[in-house]
Amino acid sequence: MPQLSSGGGDDLGANDEMIAFKDEGEQEEKIQENALTERDLADLKSSLVNESETNQSPNAAAIRRAQQGEQRSFAEKHRELIDGVSKHQDGGMYKTPAYTGYPFLMLPDPYLPNGSVSPSSRFPLICIWPLRMTAQAGHSRKRPVRIDVTGFSPVFVLQQSNKVSVVQQSHGMHPLSSLLPYGNEHFSPSPPHLPADMSQKPGVHRHQSQDLSGYYSLPPGGVGQISPSVSWLLVRQGQAVYPTLSPCGFRQPYASNLSSTPSSYSRFPHPLMLGPSGMHPTGIPHPAIVPPTGKQEHDQYDRGMYLKQEVKQQKEPKKPVIKKPLNAFMLYMKEMRAKVIAECTLKESAAINQILGRRWHALTREEQAKYYELARKERQLHMQLYPTWSARDNYGKKKEEKTGE
DNA sequence: CTCCCTTTGAAGACT
DNA sequence: AGTCTTCAAAGGGAG
């Protein structure tokens, strides 16, 4: 498995990526299975879902085309991303295929084949901070009200020894969008209700609506107070580099002491900064951390909810719940859910998940490997961030909650 | 309002 | 060691 060769030195990731993909015969079998699965998709949809779904179920060929397109687009995006990264760097960090699925943290890859990364460099000196300014005000589970104030183009940050390189993407699609683990709307067009935000100003283009809902932080002691005011916050060795708008509309970084706050901060407060809820011990919120009483869901984007949580926590401080890192399939589901919903006009998660499960099996080994790799990085990062955390911490918690203990 | 459903994979618990 | 159980996400549906 080419992309799974960790190159040694990886004692953190589990061996999930070493999945026992069977050999040639199995591959043929898989191909056949793919065809079957894809064909079954229509059947599944018609059998699983309600009548309306049945009536508009596309034929198998259409599904096949859709799936092929889906898979192709994924691969293309992946390639584009790799190309994009490699074009924009001068050969320092990512000589090997860059790890493309982790926009949250552009860290030196400890899995570089030569395994030469020093222990200290196993952790990022530079962190890319995709704070998309998307809030869901007055969110209810059934009717999310989304205020999308995403304003800026994505920025690449590549570590070059002690420098920060910022690479502006020239096209509308964020190159990392295809693999954003926490994104929900990676490929969806900009929502029609998008307010006239800065992205619509001349010279400032807006990337597609992506929920860059999660991100990882530096390890304890890495950073201090972080301003969430910008779409992307770059952190480097105790300094925050705040992207700002240049006259031409491109974002330029400027270094700032963490204690000082750029003017843009006050203009764009971010709900994620409210209160201690979901805060990593560093003071940085993390998608894996959720307030103890609430579901994660969109709460972290719900300013009101966060305020409530803050007040609540002031009254009765509880340990924030650190969630399990997502496995490969969960990451896949996160990415593909919206697509399936759009294609199948389904809304029931149970039915959607069935389809996703079949699609998952229909993926090629390479396509699955990408998600296994993502999940491996996810676990690794989770482990770095929460070294004392164990799945045991949440084990049986749900039952306890139910029983009221 | 709360729980269930449904999927896969990881990891803890149990035998 | 092998098997079982729980939890991650999601959101409509049911009670």
Whether CB of A390 is under 7 Å from strand B: the answer is: yes
The answer as to whether A216 is a domain residue is: no
Whether CB of A397 is under 7 Å from strand C: the answer is: yes
Distances (CA, A) of A40 to A46, A59, A174, A358, A361: 10, 10, 33, 9, 12
The answer as to whether A336 is a domain residue is: yes
d(CA A250, CA A204): 7
User: How remote is the C-alpha of A374 from its chain's centroid?
Assistant: 10
Residues 6+ apart with CB under 8 A from A350: none
Mean pLDDT value across residues A17-22: 38
From A41, A77, A293, A319, select the one nearest A183 (Cα to Cα). Answer: A77
Out of A17-31, A202-216, A244-258, least confident range: A244-258
Mean pLDDT value across residues A141-164: 31
Mean pLDDT value across residues A43-52: 40
Whether CB of A293 is under 7 Å from strand C: the answer is: no
Average pLDDT, chain A: 48
Whether CB of A400 is under 7 Å from strand B: the answer is: no
The answer to whether A133 and A265 have CB atoms below 8 angstroms apart is no
The answer as to whether A304 is a domain residue is: no
Strand partners, A321: A290
pLDDT band at A287 (very low <50, low <70, confident <90, very high): low
Q: What pTM did the predictor assign?
A: 0.45
**Which nt sits closest to A326, CA to C1'?**
C8
Whether CB of A394 is under 7 Å from strand C: the answer is: yes
**Strand B contacts (CB < 7 A) among A residues 305-364?**
324, 327-330, 333, 348-350, 353-354, 356-357, 360-361
Whether CB of A402 is under 7 Å from strand B: the answer is: yes
Per-residue pLDDT for A100 more than 50?
Answer: no
Distances (CA, A) of A207 to A46, A153, A185, A187: 35, 6, 12, 10
**Which nt sits closest to A351, CA to C1'?**
B6
The pLDDT tens digits for A101-116 are: 333 333 333 333 333 3
d(CA A299, CA A184): 14
Residue at shortest CA–C1' distance from C6: A395
Per-residue pLDDT for A74 more than 90?
Answer: no
Strand arrangement, sheet containing A232-236: A126-130, A232-236, A239-245, A251-257
Whether CB of A345 is under 7 Å from strand C: the answer is: no
Give the range with max mean pLDDT: A80-94, A134-148, A253-267, A272-286.
A272-286
What was the pLDDT predicted at A317?
55
What was the pLDDT predicted at A399?
72
The answer as to whether A369 is a domain residue is: yes
Look up the domain containing A335 and give its range: 328-385
The answer as to whether A166 is a domain residue is: no
Whether CB of A79 is under 7 Å from strand B: the answer is: no
Whether CB of A163 is under 7 Å from strand B: the answer is: no
Give the range with max mean pLDDT: A98-112, A185-199, A236-250, A390-404.
A390-404
Residue at shortest CA–C1' distance from B3: A402
Q: Which two tokens stand for residue A165?
A: 């390189």
Residue A82 has, within 13 A of its CA and on its CB side, a CA count of: 12
The answer as to whether A83 is a domain residue is: no
The residue with greater pLDDT, A341 or A215, is A341
The answer as to whether A335 is a domain residue is: yes
**Which nt sits closest to A392, CA to C1'?**
B12
**Which nt sits closest to A290, CA to C1'?**
C8
d(CA A288, CA A132): 17
pLDDT band at A291 (very low <50, low <70, confident <90, very high): low
The answer as to whether A377 is a domain residue is: yes
- Based on the number of CB atoms within 10 Å of its own CB, is A387 exposed (0-12), middle (13-18) or buried (19 or more)? exposed
Q: How many domains does chain A have?
A: 1
Residue A355 sits in a domain whose CATH number is 1.10.30.10
Whether CB of A141 is under 7 Å from strand C: the answer is: yes
The pLDDT tens digits for A306-321 are: 334 444 444 455 667 8
What was the pLDDT predicted at A378?
92
C1' (C8) to CA (A338) span, angstroms: 19
Out of A29-43, A93-107, A363-377, least confident range: A93-107
What was the pLDDT predicted at A396?
83
Residue at shortest CA–C1' distance from B8: A329
The pLDDT tens digits for A347-366 are: 899 999 999 999 999 999 99
